[in-house]
Amino acid sequence: MNKTLELVCPAGNPAALRAAVEAGADCVYLGFRDQTNARNFPGLNFNRSELREGVQYAHEHGVKILLAINTYPKAGDQAPWHTAVDDAADIAVDAVILADIGLLDYATRTHPGLRRHLSVQASASNPEAIRFYRDAFDVKRVVLPRVLTVPEIKTLNAMIGVETEVFAFGGLCVMAEGRCSMSSYITGVSPNKEGVCSPASHVRYEQHQGRLLSKLGDFTINAFSDNEPVGYPTLCKGRFKAGGVTSYLFEEPTSLNVIDILPALIDAGVSALKIEGRQRGKAYVSQVVQAFRKAIDAAQSGLPVETDVLMGISEGGRETQGVYDKRWR
């Protein structure tokens, strides 16, 4: 049983980084304030001086910093991504999280001492794919896509020879990570290149016949009555009419939460748990990290794990174990 399970926590700004460190994070993952990371929203992320200060603060508290450079460079314009890797090495982050093969090659050749993790954006979920990245680019850890059950993860860990990191809490995505084109179909802005799904520049809300409409570009994504919580218009989480029935066609609003199955994930040999939410505030970060710190410490000590502690901040007020507990084929 793995006794060194790391808690990997999000930070969208310096305040959230400090909150994660203070709440008990082992690692904090974040991105630069540009298109090189997959959460490129206005007001989020770090400039170079903020990252340098954040790394110093984290290291003073024994916490690692992981830098996500996990979008795909544009053909003929790789400079922003190469610069991000160069600056990551100069600032001395503990690892970079990469998805693009060309960028992995660049990092391996130019900064061989810079630890490399494979982003979930690469969608590597089988032994052959993961061993390729291990052998070609000396990848030390792979962030697994949310498509594997716990027994499948355990089997995979016995075959790949690298660490695995899995999502533990937060928003879900029903699309193949790194391959989704739904947002770019509507907005022309790609989450895989520009790093933003459902960009705020294309979002608006309108009152119509007593309901509030959430819109992305020219498309209505949802309609809310007065007593309903209003969600952000992400296309795959919209309500649409199909076959005469209006429903959440692709995915219902719900949050992943693996606290109930922590012992099973530890037994499966997982190296790290990843909390989703770089776009969330420091209060969210602090609450979720504290809850998972307590749960991980209890699980690794063989003590009972307190559950149902995060329902209040779960999306839609609902939680799921997602595909980890898949019961269909």
| Cα atoms in the 13 Å half-sphere on the side-chain side of 53 | 10
Instruction: Summarize pLDDT for 207-238 with one digit per residue, the tens.
Output: 988 889 999 888 888 888 888 877 777 777 78
Structure-model confidence comparison of residues 310 and 269, the more confident one: 269
10 near 45, Cβ under 8 Å?
no
For 246-302, the DSSP string reads EEESS--S-EEE-GGGHHHHHHTT--EEEE--TTS-HHHHHHHHHHHHHHHHHHHTT
**Cα distance between residue 231 and residue 253, in whole Å:** 8
- Domain parsing of the chain, residue ranges: 6-172+254-325, 198-248
Cβ neighbours around 142 below 10 Å, total: 25
Instruction: Summarize pLDDT for 23-75 with one digit per residue, the tens.
Output: 999 999 999 999 999 888 888 999 999 999 999 999 999 999 999 999 999 88
Longest dimension (CA), the chain: 60
Return the pLDDT at 268.
96
Instruction: Summarize pLDDT for 73-118 with one digit per residue, the tens.
Output: 988 899 999 999 999 999 999 999 999 999 999 999 999 999 999 9
Instruction: Summarize pLDDT for 155-200 with one digit per residue, the tens.
Output: 999 999 999 999 998 877 766 665 667 777 788 776 766 667 777 8
DSSP single-letter state for residue 46: B
Amino acid (one-letter) located at 225: S
Q: Residue 119: name the closest of 83, 185, 167, 172 by CA.
A: 167
Return the pLDDT at 178.
58
Amino acid (one-letter) located at 33: R
Cβ neighbours around 208 below 10 Å, total: 10
The helix (H) or strand (E) run that includes residue 81 is: helix 79-91
Quickly state the pLDDT bin for 329 (edges 50, 70, 90).
Answer: very low
- What are the backbone dihedrals phi and psi of residue 203, each rounded to the nearest 5 degrees, phi first? -95, 135
Return the pLDDT at 158.
97
Reported pTM = 0.87
CATH number of 6-172+254-325: 3.20.20.110
